[in-house]
Structure 1
Amino acid sequence: MRMIVEDAMTSKVISVTAATPFKEIAQALITGGISAVPVVDDDGHVIGMVSEADLLRKEEFREQFHREDYRPPLRARLRHPKGRQKAAGDTAAALMTSPPIVISAAASVVSAARLMQARDVRRLAVVDGNGCLVGIVSRRDLVKVFLRDDDKIAAEVRDDVLGRALWLDTSGVGVEVLQGVVTLSGQVDRRTEAGMAVRLAGRVNGVVDVIDRLSWKRDDVAVSAGRRR
């Protein structure tokens, strides 16, 4: 029911090796219309990532410190050691950011979104169980999840959430979806069933929000609370 990274990622990935020259990396980015490229070893393991920003360090450092043959003082050079290294780099090995931030193809798209947020990156290299490159997932790929058709969302909520996961009689429950917002209405047997229906509906791919208009015949939550007292 929950979409995993493998469902959202781009599987046709342009990659480079540690020995790939600067200009070939730039050409790969331009030709592929991408902003970063993973660096892999001979066995396909991801060892780093080179982005447009990494390539631009060369021009940025040159402009900042070396215009008109100016050589910065030692203090300034020591303050930007990584910038100097990448500015001087001519291959992926020198330019890449390593270790790379990767995610498993079996991880949820929610996990991918949280990792991007935490590490402030726009894309993640996707790896299999052996750590080998199998795809790339970007913020744009994750946003596409919310473009899912309303009818498909409604069918999944009705059939998978209510029918299979909760084993509810759906004849008394209405499911409407508009622009990704799910409205659940009608009556179920127990209050706990209503709560579970709302929570599980909210986990369906493409759901933006859930409006709860369900009622119930038996308040089993109040009964349980009374017994605990």
Structure 2
Amino acid sequence: MDQTYLVKDLMTPNPVTVKPSDLVETVLQHLEKNHISGLPVVDDDGKVVGVISEADLLFRERPIKLPLYLNFLGSFFYLEPPRKLKQQLRKTLGVLVQDVMTANPITVAPDMPIAKAANFMIEKRVNRLPVIDNQGQLVGIITREDLLKALRTESAPEVDVAYTQHSLPDLGR
């Protein structure tokens, strides 16, 4: 991908957002209506506090995994931190965005090179990155789909259709 592309060249400006206090049902409506797979969560000041995606919503359908423990002389010793179960329960049973979202998302600046944003997505296994300005305000979002569109347009060869049709070999039609 061309190093001259910047995030601002490919991002979607002013993306659909939700607030932490919104219902999960609101997220589902936005995803369906806008044909998107995730969106930023912003506070009342327009600062990004999380991201909520289809993966966060699907997490609710997973069975709850109880932490491993040992029972020794009538006492329970947990082999995993109980807070992990607490987080899992909150995410599974949550009805508000703040219960289900992924908090403290990775964000990028509009002037970041696309190659660096793509690298973040791959390394951190995320599909979208909120784009924030110098004041921390949300100005856009960039997704893997945006990057793939840029690759498609960049790698699409220009073909002279008239030349191609005449230069194909006769296959005994």
Instruction: Please indicate, yes or no, whether the TM-score normalized by the shorter chain is above 0.5.
Output: yes
Q: Which contiguous aligned blocks of 4+ residues in structure 1 show a shift greater than 6 angstroms? A: none
Is the 1:77–1:84 Cα contact (8 Å) retained in structure 2?
A: no
Q: Is the 8 A contact 1:13 1:135 kept in 2?
A: yes
TM-score by length of 2: 0.74
Structure with the greater alpha carbon radius of gyration: 1
Q: Aligned partner of 1:84: which letter?
A: L
Match of 2:169 in 1: none
Q: Does the C-alpha gap of structure 1 residues 179 and 81 become closer, same or farther in structure 2, counting only changes over 3 Å?
A: farther
2:142 to 134, 137, 140: 137
Aligned mate of 2:22, from 13, 20, 23: 20
Q: Determine what percentage of the aligned residue pairs are the same residue.
A: 34
**Which structure has greater helix proportion?**
1
- Aligned partner of residue 102 in structure 1, secondary structure: coil
Of structures 1 and 2, the one scoring higher in RCO (CA 8 A, sep 6+) is 2
Q: What TM-score, normalized by structure 1, do the two folds share?
A: 0.57
In structure 2, the gaps of 5 or more residues are 70-79, 159-173
1:89 deviates by 1.2
Q: What are the ranges of 5 or more consecutive residues in structure 1 without an aligned counterpart?
A: 67-71, 151-177, 181-229
1:2 matched to 2:7? The reply is: no
Distance between the aligned counterparts of 1:14 and 1:116, measured in 2? 20
Name the Cα RMSD after superposition. Answer: 2.6
Task: Measure, in 2, the Cα distance between the counterparts of 1:49 and 1:100.
Answer: 6
Q: Which residue of 2 aligns with 1:109?
A: 114
Tell which deviates more after alignment, 24-33 or 79-88: 79-88
Q: Note the C-alpha offset of 1:147.
A: 3.1
Change (3 A) 1:41 1:146: same
Q: Decide whether aligned partners of structure 1 residues 77 and 45 sit closer, same or farther in structure 2, where only a CA change above 3 A counts.
A: same
The one of 96, 104, 113 aligned to 1:91? 96
- Paired residue total: 145
Match of 1:11 among 10, 13, 17: 13
